[in-house]
């Protein structure tokens, strides 16, 4: 395709840190262009259309957001600095009397697990049961909703 036939690179109205652009779409099919850094082009998957990535220099702002609580829960990470509420909750859990059940630990196979329950959902739904392996070198924890 002749570069003169390419649609003009238009930068739309700025909305804070995010700038909407028309260059991200194929003018033939309307599909979102695939950014291929190895080939140095933004290309269409269904049409014979590509645009050099150099056309996009200084026109793109990448903005990402993350929810640290969700991220830490997803990867089972403990925060380095804990809030007062978190420390109080952990102290409450340590002092809680736990029952035991003859159920093998999914991680280490220990034949007994400790468990306790909490009402985390609405009152008309069952309690959440928290299981924990009592072996110090394992300490595996998981929960189920009843």
Measured distance CA(34)–CA(47) in Å, rounded? 12
The sheet that has 141-145: what strands, in order across it?
99-101, 113-118, 128-132, 141-145
Confidence of residue 58 (pLDDT cuts 50, 70, 90): low
Q: Are residues 79 and 122 in the same domain?
A: no
| CATH assignment at residue 111 | 2.20.25.10
72/111 same-domain check: no
Both 61 and 113 in one domain: the answer is: no
pTM of the model: 0.36
Whether the per-residue pLDDT at 21 is higher than 60: the answer is no
Whole-number Å distance between alpha carbons of 108 and 139:
9
Residue 20 pLDDT level (bands cut at 50, 70, 90):
very low
Our count of domains for the chain comes to: 2
137, 139, 141 from 101: Cα distances, Å: 19, 15, 14
- Is residue 92 situated within a structural domain? no
Instruction: Tell me which of 83, 112, 127 is where a domain ends.
Output: 83
Mean pLDDT of all residues in 45-57:
81
Q: What is the pLDDT of residue 22?
A: 59
pLDDT score for 3 = 55
Tens digit of each residue's pLDDT (9 = 90 or more) over 88-132: 888 887 776 779 999 999 999 999 999 988 888 888 888 899 999
> Cα 58 from chain centroid?
28
Domain of residue 123, residue span: 100-145
pLDDT at residue 42 is higher than 90: no
């Amino acid at each position: 395709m002749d570069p003169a036939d390419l649609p003009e690179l238009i930068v739309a109205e700025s909305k804070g840190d995010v700038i909407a652009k028309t260059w991200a779409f194929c003018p033939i099919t309307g599909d979102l262009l695939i950014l291929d850094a190895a080939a140095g082009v933004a290309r269409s998957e269904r049409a014979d259309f590509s645009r050099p990535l150099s056309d996009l220099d200084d026109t793109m702002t990448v903005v990402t957001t993350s929810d640290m609580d969700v991220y830490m829960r997803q990867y089972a990470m403990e925060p380095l600095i804990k809030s007062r509420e978190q420390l109080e909750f952990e102290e409450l859990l340590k002092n809680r009397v736990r029952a035991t059940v003859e159920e093998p630990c999914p991680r280490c196979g220990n034949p007994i697990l400790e468990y306790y329950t909490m009402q985390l959902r609405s009152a008309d739904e069952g309690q959440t049961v928290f299981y924990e392996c009592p072996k110090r070198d394992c300490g595996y924890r998981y929960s189920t909703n009843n």
